[in-house]
């Protein structure tokens, strides 16, 4: 098998997050793929659409003290910048349909190594139409 | 064409595994290559070797194992997803101090437990990664 492996292949890879963070396990397990995948040095982006926008909502608290008793994995999104995952597309229409705006989202940033480690926003607000174009450019889409 | 297959749902509850199986079978019949089938989320339940469905119904886990034997398929079950759901092979059972296991990695049964890197590799190496699930 090893002789088949293409060394140094870099693909445009998108993780498409469509589900609310709790209620089903898709969001948590999607994040686990993202973190493992960071080691593969691919051209990675994340997209948040439909109820997936709730995944990066500010002020989540699901821990034991809150009475819900679920692992709150929302802090992990804040660490994505350290994994060189810097493109988080958020669909405007999905926010609007849920009465949300960009102000309701976590402040997700990364440090740009090409710009003296300046802190820059990771979230890219896009329209449904724009996101369709970005998706069209991808070679692999992991849809969760 | 070289396909990677991702199965994200368990057997019977959801059609995803059946459809993935039919797709894989049809692709092989047409001479395509299946790089790997990866089982994630509740899809790990497809790897159980102790399911016992009624005789007049298909055995989803068994038909994957049979197809793997026939075509030498690589069926990979995500270790993290499997462990939290109680799908264990002998090695994982020992590591987690369980006295029993339910994923038989016998010769010819193509299922094996491994990490998420195997899914990433399928995405990178295959011409197309096809996802089956919700």
Q: How far apart are CA A45 and CA A57, in angstroms?
A: 18
CATH number at residue A54: 3.40.1260.10
Q: What is the mean pLDDT of chain B?
A: 95
Q: What is the mean pLDDT of residues B87-111?
A: 88
Residues sharing a CB contact under 8 Å with residue B122, sequence separation 6 or more, in sequence order = B4, B5, B6, B35, B36, B38, B129
Give, in order, the Cα–Cα distances in Å from A106 to each of A25, A88, A103, B74.
20, 12, 8, 40
Contact B124 A4 (CB under 8 A): no
Q: Would A52 be classed as within a structural domain?
A: yes
Q: What is the mean pLDDT of residues B107-111?
A: 72
The alpha carbon of residue A118 is apart from the nearest alpha carbon of chain B, in Å, by: 30
Domain coverage including residue A95: 10-143
Whole-number pLDDT of residue A63 = 83
The residues of B annotated as belonging to the active site are 78
Q: How far apart are CA B73 and CA B34, in angstroms?
A: 7
For helices B16-29 and B60-71, what crossing angle results, to 10°? 20
Whether the CB of B129 is below 8 Å from some CB of chain A: the reply is: yes
- Chain A residues whose C-beta is within 8 A of a chain B C-beta are 4-6, 9, 11, 13, 25-26, 29, 32-33, 36-37, 39-40, 42, 140-144
Whole-number pLDDT of residue A1 = 43
In this structure, what token pair is assigned to residue B45? 């339940």
The count of structural domains within chain A is 1
pLDDT in tens, B57-95: 999 999 999 999 999 999 999 999 999 999 999 999 999
In this structure, what token pair is assigned to residue A49? 């659409």
Q: Would A5 be classed as within a structural domain?
A: no
B109 band by pLDDT with thresholds 50, 70 and 90? low
Ranges of H-type helices in chain B: 16-29, 60-71, 79-85, 90-95, 117-125
Domain map (residue ranges) of chain B: 2-132
The alpha carbon of residue B119 is apart from the nearest alpha carbon of chain A, in Å, by: 8
Whole-number pLDDT of residue A3 = 44
Q: Does domain B2-132 correspond to CATH entry 3.30.429.10? A: no
Q: Would A4 be classed as within a structural domain?
A: no
Whole-number pLDDT of residue B108 = 55
Per-residue pLDDT of chain A (144 residues; tens, 9 = 90+): 444 556 688 999 999 999 999 999 999 999 999 999 999 999 999 999 999 999 999 999 998 788 888 989 999 999 999 999 999 999 999 999 999 999 999 999 999 999 999 999 999 999 999 999 999 999 999 999
Q: Would A3 be classed as within a structural domain?
A: no
What is the model's pTM?
0.93
Q: Would A2 be classed as within a structural domain?
A: no
């Amino acid at each position: 098998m090893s002789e088949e492996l293409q060394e140094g292949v870099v693909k445009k890879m998108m993780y498409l997050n469509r589900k609310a963070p709790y209620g089903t396990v898709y969001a948590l397990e999607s994040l686990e793929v993202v973190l493992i995948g960071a080691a593969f040095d691919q051209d990675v982006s994340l997209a948040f659409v439909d109820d997936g926008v709730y995944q990066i909502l500010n002020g989540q608290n699901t821990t034991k003290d809150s009475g819900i008793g679920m692992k709150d994995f929302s802090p992990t999104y804040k660490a994505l910048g350290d994994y060189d995952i810097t493109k988080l597309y958020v669909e405007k229409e999905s926010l609007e349909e849920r009465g949300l705006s960009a102000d309701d989202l976590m402040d997700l940033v990364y440090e740009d190594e090409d710009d003296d480690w300046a802190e820059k926003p990771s979230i890219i607000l896009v329209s449904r139409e724009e996101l369709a174009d970005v998706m069209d450019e991808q070679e692999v889409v992991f849809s969760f | 064409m070289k396909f990677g297959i991702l199965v994200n749902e368990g057997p019977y509850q959801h059609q995803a595994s059946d459809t993935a199986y039919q797709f894989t079978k049809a692709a092989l019949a047409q001479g395509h290559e299946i790089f790997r089938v990866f089982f994630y989320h509740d899809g790990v339940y497809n790897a159980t070797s102790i399911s016992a469905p009624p005789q007049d119904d298909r055995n989803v886990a068994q038909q994957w194992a049979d197809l793997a034997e026939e075509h030498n398929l690589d069926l990979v079950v995500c270790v993290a997803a499997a462990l939290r759901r109680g799908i264990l092979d002998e090695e994982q059972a020992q590591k987690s101090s369980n006295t029993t296991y339910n994923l038989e990695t016998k010769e010819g049964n193509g299922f094996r437990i491994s990490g998420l890197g195997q899914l990433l590799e399928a995405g990178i190496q295959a011409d197309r990664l096809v996802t089956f699930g919700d």
